Amino acid sequence: MKRAQKPGSLSCRLFCSLREAAQQRSQPPRTPGVRAGKPRPAKPRPRQSPARKQVCPRPAAVRRALRFRLRPRGAARAQSAAPSPPMAGNVQAPAPVGARLQQDRKARSGWQGGARVWEETEQQAKKLKSSGDEDGEQHRKLPKRKIVLLMAYSGKGYHGMQRNVGSSQFKTIEDDLVSALVRSGCIPENHGEDMRKMSFQRCARTDKGVSAAGQVVSLKVWLIDDILEKINSHLPSHIRILGLKRVTGGFNSKNKCDARTYFYMLPTFAFAHKDRDVQDETYRLTAETLQSVNRLLACYKGTHNFHNFTSQKGPREPSAQRYILDMYCEEPFVREGMEFAVIKVKGQSFMTHQIRKMVGLVVAIVKGYAPESVLARSWGEAKVDVPKAPGLGLVLERVHFEKYNQRFGNDGLHEPLDWAQEEAEVAAFKEQHIYPAIVSTERHERSMAQWLSTLPVHDFSATAHAAAKVPSPLEGSEGDGDSD
């Protein structure tokens, strides 16, 4: 039986020391300052979401400057000025200690100057950028809205209303209008070259020699201050913008127009009988003749096939059907010793030359050159020779937007397009520019008298294929021109 060793005996102490030595030989050497035992596993770092990543709100140039400023003074300059390590075959002696201290001082002073230069350059760049973009920003900040303009113009000397893009030979009303819009700062210059960019649309396309007292165009412009005064300052005196109103974004002046009213001003000797002198300026219209004229004009009311009143439609084309709401002749008046009368016609739309031929056929019947039966025959499929009156006295007086006014006129956001407040200016423009131009041109050129002399050549009993073509004294002078 083995004897138990006493805890404090020599043999017990020797056994404990040998066991500790064996344990030390079996374990790896311990590093000073590190606790012995099982190594603690590395704690994984939480992955930061890209959405939570903090980004400095300052610009990139400012962030670079701040990082550069956080370095020790002279570190950047000293690092750039430090000599590169010597290469084989190109051994250079190190710079003296005094030279390195001097370079360090220059580096510290250079950083402060560089910071000042950087700040001044940045401020100058911002000033140049702000001054360069000042004009563009001013227009970009202005609202661009859809509006309508009420126009009045005298068509004498112009080849109609519609602009002929790429052709500067024939001057039109829209040429002067677009030029005034660009020069006044209402639209960019490229919008003047391509009118579709400003959603430009005219209500009626008046042609050569035709005037207007109530033309309406729709477009998008910058709503600058005193817009009407600035546009009119760049327009001639016989073209005026009389009114401006805001409309809905999808407004189209041609498609939203319900009806158009024209008037035709002519000397009353046009209604004198054919046995009377066609140039008798002393002629005065009697009440019986005026009543006969109104009776014939009332026959146009309603829907008829007006293919004989234009050169663009066939007898079976649906678009040749046009609806006339009203047509009548007003009481005559005297201007410069010559008596004139005004024939007014209101319809949904008109074709090219339609109004001029409607007036011409009534004049031919009243003077005795054509029977009244030709009026009803002209609405049939057979071609009828219908004379075309001169385009001098034709004027677009008003355009109507009844349906638009019923829907948007009282919604609290838009104004009704009735132009009641501008009626005084419209009447003043007609008295100042339209009526005097018609009277003076008729007295000097005598276009109506020349046209009346061609009526005997027409054969109203035959078709247009058998009738001789009679040249008009104003050939090429277009009339109403609301063609589709």
Q: CB burial class (10 A; 0-12, 13-18, 19+) of residue 343? A: buried
| Burial profile 452-474: b = 16 or more Cβ within 10 angstroms, e = fewer | beebeebebeeebeebeebebbb
The CB density around residue 245, as the number of other CB atoms within 10 Å, is: 16
Is residue 330 within 8 A of residue 344, CB to CB? The reply is yes
Q: Is the dihedral of CA 32, 35, 37, 41 positive or negative?
A: negative
Task: Check residue 381 and report its DSSP letter.
Answer: S
Q: How many CA atoms lie within 13 A of 192 on its CB side?
A: 16
Residue 207 bears catalytic tag: yes
Q: What three-state secondary structure class fits 341? A: strand
Task: Check residue 49 and report its DSSP letter.
Answer: P
Find how far residue 199's CA is from the centre of its chain: 4
- In 3D, which of 58, 70, 60, 61 has the Cα closest to residue 122? 61
State how far the alpha carbon of 141 is from the alpha carbons of 133, 136, 137, in Å: 12, 9, 6
Is residue 328 within 8 A of residue 283, CB to CB? The reply is no
**How far apart are the C-alpha atoms of 219 and 254, rounded to whole Å?**
12
The CB density around residue 360, as the number of other CB atoms within 10 Å, is: 25
Q: For residue 411, which amino acid is it?
A: D
**How far apart are the C-alpha atoms of 146 and 393, rounded to whole Å?**
33
262 is in an annotated binding site: yes
Cβ neighbours for 317, distance < 8 A, ≥ 6 positions apart: 307
Q: What share of the chain is helix, strand, coil (3-state, %, to 5)?
A: 40, 15, 45
**How far apart are the C-alpha atoms of 282 and 262, rounded to whole Å?**
27
Q: How many residues does the chain have?
A: 484
N-to-C CA span, the chain: 133
Catalytic residue, from 207, 385, 480, 482: name it: 207
Cβ neighbours for 236, distance < 8 A, ≥ 6 positions apart: 176
Strand partners, 347: 260, 324
Among all residues, which ones are annotated catalytic? 207
Q: Which residues are annotated as a binding site for substrate?
A: 262
Q: Which residues define the annotated binding site?
A: 262
